[in-house]
Amino acid sequence: MPSTGKVKVGIIGSQFEADIHAAAFQIMPEEAEVVAVASPTPGNAAALAQRYGIPRVFLDYHDMLKEPDIEMVTITAPNSFHAQMTVDIANAGKHVVCEKPLCMTLPEADEMIETCKRQGVLLGYAEELFFTPKYVKAKQMADQGAFGRVYLVKQSEKHFGPHSPWFWDMDKAGGGALMDLGCHGIAFCYWFLGRPAIKSIYAHLATNVHAAKTKGDDEAVCIIEFENGATGLIEDSWARRGGMSDRSEIYGEGGVSYADLHMGNALPTYSEYGFGYAVEKAPTTQGWSYPVFEEHWNYGIPQEMRHFARCVRGKETLQATGEDGRVVMQALYAAYASAGLGQKVSMPYHPTTTKPIDEWLSRKGQ
């Protein structure tokens, strides 16, 4: 493998997040180039490849892993595949960037981390909130002492539910809105506060509007108590109308800061006729809408992918790791258990079920 030049990247998956990864590498092309894409539905990977000028296309990702020049592979497949794909990529001697949530179970997380260590490859956890410009600015200010002792960090992500059927199938996703979106919030609070241990978790979950479609939660409120005395409060929803919302609030004894990823990066707009695209998951562009500009950049995904490529070249050290993803997984189990038990759960929590969601579903109504 070369130790200089652009890192050669393969992407597994060809739909929503794969498109974002491909775009991200194109937005910041100095450190890496996507040379291959693999996904199983005929035509899909080829279409992505054509949109982004990616030269090699595979139906089976195992074949892509045989390409000797590929150094880093990003996983944008459903959650249930993350663990096996990570192990296969690592065993092929390539660095891994795995989308959130890290996987479906804690034993899977351990296997992913151990295999990457054993093979001497990086396991990057694709948590873009660690790279989101507005959130990075808030953390820089906090680290400079702007707010004094931070005692409360709030993060929320809300929309009307995911675009692909597998998200709604708990065997493929592992959990609902809390797992899909709350994994961002848990990671954010943990990262923002400097990774203190989590002491306890309390969660309240509901399926308010999508019960016909899923057994999973579509509404989640979760309180995280950290060892350093700070509180994390995360709110997540698959029931919120009107497109994507992603916000955080920081409260310290000496100050406060609010960040809304979309407002302030948007153009409040009224259109009688509609137009092409406003913002992720917005159902319409007619009437009032809030079209964003430089959407990928504002989420931090190009910066995140550039970081992972620089880590491969030894220019930076990994800022979002498999271990971070494991902390989030364990917290997700505890949060689902808390919602099932109707009480606060102490950490470290040792799961009693296979998937996080079952901690809630198995106790619901008891």
Ligand X SMILES: NC(=O)c1ccc[n+]([C@@H]2O[C@H](COP(=O)([O-])OP(=O)(O)OC[C@H]3O[C@@H](n4cnc5c(N)ncnc54)[C@H](O)[C@@H]3O)[C@@H](O)[C@H]2O)c1
Quickly tell me which residue has 């509180």 as its tokens: 231
* CB of residue 61 to ligand X, shortest distance in Å: 5
* CB of residue 286 to ligand X, shortest distance in Å: 25
x/- track of binding to ligand X for residues 279-308 (CB under 6 A): ------------------------------
Instruction: Write out the binding residues for ligand X, residues 84-113 only, by CB under 6 A.
Output: 99-100
Q: Does 124 bind ligand X (CB under 6 A)?
A: no
CB nearer to ligand X: give 281 or 344.
281
* CB of residue 308 to ligand X, shortest distance in Å: 13
Cis before residue 165, ω within 30 degrees of 0? no
Q: Are 113 and 326 in contact (CB under 8 A)?
A: yes
CB nearer to ligand X: give 215 or 313.
215
Instruction: Please give the structure tokens belonging to residue 218.
Output: 């579509």
Q: Does 14 bind ligand X (CB under 6 A)?
A: yes
Q: Does 172 bind ligand X (CB under 6 A)?
A: no
Neighbours of 287 (CB within 10 A): 10
CA distance 288 to 271: 7
CA 30 → CA 179, 249, 303, distances in Å? 33, 33, 11
Q: Are 37 and 14 in contact (CB under 8 A)?
A: yes
CB nearer to ligand X: give 38 or 70.
38
Q: Does 50 bind ligand X (CB under 6 A)?
A: no
Q: Does 41 bind ligand X (CB under 6 A)?
A: yes
Q: Are 14 and 48 in contact (CB under 8 A)?
A: yes
* CB of residue 85 to ligand X, shortest distance in Å: 7
Chosen residue from 9, 11, 12, 193 binding ligand X by CB under 6 A = 12
123-126 and 95-99 beta bridge pairing: parallel
Q: Does 15 bind ligand X (CB under 6 A)?
A: yes
Q: Does 319 bind ligand X (CB under 6 A)?
A: no
* CB of residue 55 to ligand X, shortest distance in Å: 18
Residue 6: burial class (beta carbons within 10 Å; 0-12, 13-18, 19+): middle
CA distance 338 to 327: 16
Chosen residue from 8, 9, 10, 17 binding ligand X by CB under 6 A = 17
Helices (H), the chain: 16-27, 44-52, 61-65, 82-91, 106-119, 133-143, 170-173, 177-180, 182-192, 295-299, 301-312, 322-341, 356-361
CA distance 260 to 252: 18
Chosen residue from 140, 164, 317, 362 binding ligand X by CB under 6 A = 164
Chosen residue from 25, 58, 61, 297 binding ligand X by CB under 6 A = 61
Q: Are 140 and 316 in contact (CB under 8 A)?
A: no
Number of residues in contact with ligand X under rule CB under 6 A: 24
Neighbours of 226 (CB within 10 A): 21
CB nearer to ligand X: give 40 or 196.
40
Q: Are 178 and 205 in contact (CB under 8 A)?
A: yes
* CB of residue 312 to ligand X, shortest distance in Å: 19
* CB of residue 236 to ligand X, shortest distance in Å: 12
What phi and psi, each to the nearest 5 degrees, are found at residue 61? Answer: -65, -25
* CB of residue 358 to ligand X, shortest distance in Å: 19
Chosen residue from 36, 49, 78, 248 binding ligand X by CB under 6 A = 78
Q: Does 245 bind ligand X (CB under 6 A)?
A: no
**Binding segment for ligand X among 78-86, 107-115, 287-295, 334-342 (CB under 6 A)?**
78-86
CB nearer to ligand X: give 16 or 288.
16
* CB of residue 228 to ligand X, shortest distance in Å: 27
CA distance 33 to 151: 41
Footprint of ligand X (CB under 6 A): 12-18, 38-41, 44, 61, 76-79, 81, 99-100, 126, 128, 164, 166
